[in-house]
Amino acid sequence: MYKSIEYTGKTEEEAIAAALSELNLTRDDVTVEILERAKAGFFGIGSVPAKVRVSYELPETLPEKLEKFLKGLLEHMDVEAGMTIEETERGIGVNFEGENIGSLIGHRGETLDAIQHLANYTVNKNCEERVRICVDAENYRAKREDSLRRLAEKVAAKVKKYRRNITLEPMNAYERHVIHASLQDVSGVTTYSTGTEPNRRVVVALERQHKRVMTPREDYREYNSSVTSTASREWI
């Protein structure tokens, strides 16, 4: 985005120098348009100062860069949706809104995860400090988390009641993480993951049968860690 400011001085060069000093920019960083040339007048009478317009490009902020990328992505996907972008202490949050928002969510949030991954890669590319970006659509993630927590509690109760392990349906890394986190403090049960992607599943088991062992972060890196402030980890 370009911004223009007008400056005056006894001479054109003086006006330009004043502009560069105030903006803390160099001559190569700006474009200059002479609006009025300086006139000396007669013994100072009728003199006219020089007037210039200095234009310079403002550096694109991360929210602006993100919005530009997402608008282009939606256009490429041929999807019409509104969006709100909000900066928080944890990073930048995006929420899509619209009538046919399902196409942005996809099966179990897979499309939403892909959009978030691309957004994080694009915005953080060549940045010295990484910012976490969470992409949501009409609070789908919060609703999905609530659903997974209820599922985890229900399954844990069955495991303790019937004294047998229960293997859940395949889930992505983040959803598995929600199940693990929901049951990590529940006595009598433990959780671990089995299988390989994309069919990796969570097993809810009686606690006496398995020990909780932390796996490397790689198991959770498939899903961007910005979605949650909880540590990125998963039980094997």
Alpha-carbon span 96 to 84, nearest angstrom: 7
Token digits of residue 41: 């007048």
Q: Find tokens 């910012």 and name the residue.
A: 131
More confident residue, 85 or 100: 85
pLDDT over 70 percentage in the chain: 85
pLDDT in tens, 95-127: 999 887 899 999 888 899 999 999 999 999 878
Q: Is the pTM of this model over 0.85?
A: no
| Residues above pLDDT 90, as percent of the chain | 47
pLDDT band for position 236 (50/70/90)?
very low
Torsion of CA 84, 87, 89, 92, to 10 degrees: 70
* Least reliable range by pLDDT among 85-94, 153-162, 198-207, 213-222: 213-222
pLDDT for position 194? 94
* pLDDT tens per residue across span 173-221: 889 999 999 999 999 999 999 999 889 999 999 987 544 444 434 444 4
- Alpha carbons 203 and 170: distance in angstroms, whole number: 10
CB 220 within 8 A of CB 232: yes
